Structure 1
Amino acid sequence: MASPSKAKGTAWESAWTAYVREHHNPDAHRNVQMGSKDIGDVAGYYLHAAELKAEKTITLSDYIAQANREAANAGQPYGCAVVKRRMKGVADGYVVRDVATDVRLLNRVRDMEAALQKAAPDVYRLIDLRHREAA
């Protein structure tokens, strides 16, 4: 039988994957562990290798280093740690990146939005409105 810590981690990965399937990507799935060439715990979180953590003691620096290594292994441009918030549901968890990764991601979003706005301004306005209303 798995240890209680392993069972908690598995439950968190399963719950988060279900949330991502419902709200982001229906094809998201848990990855098989690959040892030293691990590619993150969940695939299907757009452009990211997601490293999920459900631990009593949170060590962000370790989580981010692991997520960034796994992003490189997975061929994804961004790594993130998805940290369970104690006594809270999935939507209240934390997605964490280092500042360098976050700036690269925001630069990409900015550039892609500028390109879409120039190429298809009506489509841009509809997408922008949809996301503003969802906030």
Structure 2
Amino acid sequence: MNKAKLSSFAIAGAIGLASLSPITTVAAETKTQSTMQTEIKTDCKDCKDKKAEFNKKMKAARERWNSLSQTQKDEVYSLLENKMKENNKVLDKLVELKVLEQSDVDNLKANQATKFQKIKENGEFPMLRGKGMDRNHTR
């Protein structure tokens, strides 16, 4: 009985010592730094100024866009359509390589084509009309 107790204490002790090995208790050194949120936060007034300046530039760009002839606009739309076709080739290649699924790519292509067609039909300024932009801008 005493031999069984002694051997179980010996096994438990060996397991305990093994669990305290330097491999599991020493953390690896990293070369990355942690930054506090206050360090990366910028001055809010500066952000508002930059946004106001950007919106002013975009308004001027829209006005210049509206002054273009239909032929000039069609040239830009043609380039955008070529860009969309090239993007579709990339998507097709990703399907071929089994990175993306065909159904997902078909949905992406259909959405892109619909958005492009709407922009072209409405004669809209085709650039920078996404995240953060006022979609109800004055033309």
- How high is the TM-score relative to the length of structure 2? 0.28
Work out which of the two has the higher radius of gyration on C-alpha atoms and give 1 or 2.
Answer: 2
Which structure shows the bigger proportion of residues in helix conformation? 2
Bigger relative contact order, structure 1 or 2, given CA contacts below 8 A and separation 6+? 2
* TM-score computed with the length of structure 1 as normaliser: 0.29
Structure (1 or 2) with the greater strand fraction: 1
